[in-house]
Amino acid sequence: MKKTLIIENLHVRTVEGKEILKGVSLIFKQNETHAIMGPNGGGKSTLAQVIMGHPGFIITKGKILVDGKNITKLSPDKRAKLGIFLGFQYPVEVPGVNFANFLRLAVNENKTKDEKFSPIAFRNLIKEKAEKLVFSEDVTKRFLNEGFSGGEKKKAEILQMSLLKPSFAILDEPDSGLDVDALKYISKTIANLDFPVGLIVITHYQRILHYLRPDFVHVLINGKIIKSGDANLAKIIEKNGYEKIFNN
Of 243, 180, 232, nearest to 209 by C-alpha is: 232
Alpha helices (H) in 13-140, listed in sequence order = 44-52, 76-81, 99-109, 119-133
From 92-100, 113-121, 127-135, 213-221, give the range in contact with another protein by CB under 8 A: 92-100
Site for another protein in 99-128 (CB under 8 A): 102-103, 105-106, 109-110
The answer to whether 41 and 17 have CB atoms below 8 angstroms apart is no
Which residues have a Cβ under 8 Å from the Cβ of 164 and sit 6 or more positions away?
Answer: 80, 85, 103, 106, 107
97 binds another protein (CB under 8 A): yes
SS3 219: strand
What DSSP element (H or E) covers 189?
helix 180-191
Residue 11 or 54: the one with the smaller Cβ distance to another protein is 54
CB of 2 to another protein, least distance (A): 22
Nearer to another protein among residue 85 and residue 117 (C-beta): 85
Asked if 139 interacts with another protein (CB under 8 A), we say: no
Pick the binder of another protein from 38, 43, 91, 198 (CB under 8 A).
Answer: 91
Q: What angle do CA 189, 192, 196 make, to 5 degrees?
A: 120
CB atoms closer than 10 angstroms to residue 90 = 12
Nearer to another protein, 140 or 237 (CB): 140
What's the min distance (Å) between Cβ of 46 and another protein? 13
Binding of residue 191 to another protein (CB under 8 A): no
Q: Which of 16, 68, 96, 180 binds another protein (CB under 8 A)?
A: 96
Of 65 and 164, nearer to another protein (C-beta) is 164
Pair type for strands 224-229 and 69-70: unpaired
Query: Which of 35, 47, 80, 221 forms a contact with another protein (CB under 8 A)?
Result: 80
Tell me, residue by residue from 23 to 62, as one string, x for binding to another protein by CB under 8 A and - for no binding: --------------------------x--xxxxx------
Q: How many CA atoms lie within 13 A of 78 on its CB side?
A: 9
Kindly state the smallest distance separating residue 231's Cβ from another protein, in Å.
28
**Residue 32: closest CA among 8, 6, 4:** 4
Contacts of residue 65, Cβ cutoff 8 Å, sequence gap at least 6 = 4, 5, 6, 8, 71
To another protein, the closest distance from the beta carbon of 178 in angstroms equals 20
Give residues in contact with another protein (CB under 8 A).
49, 52-56, 75-77, 79-81, 85-86, 88, 91-92, 94-97, 102-103, 105-106, 109-110, 143-144, 160, 164
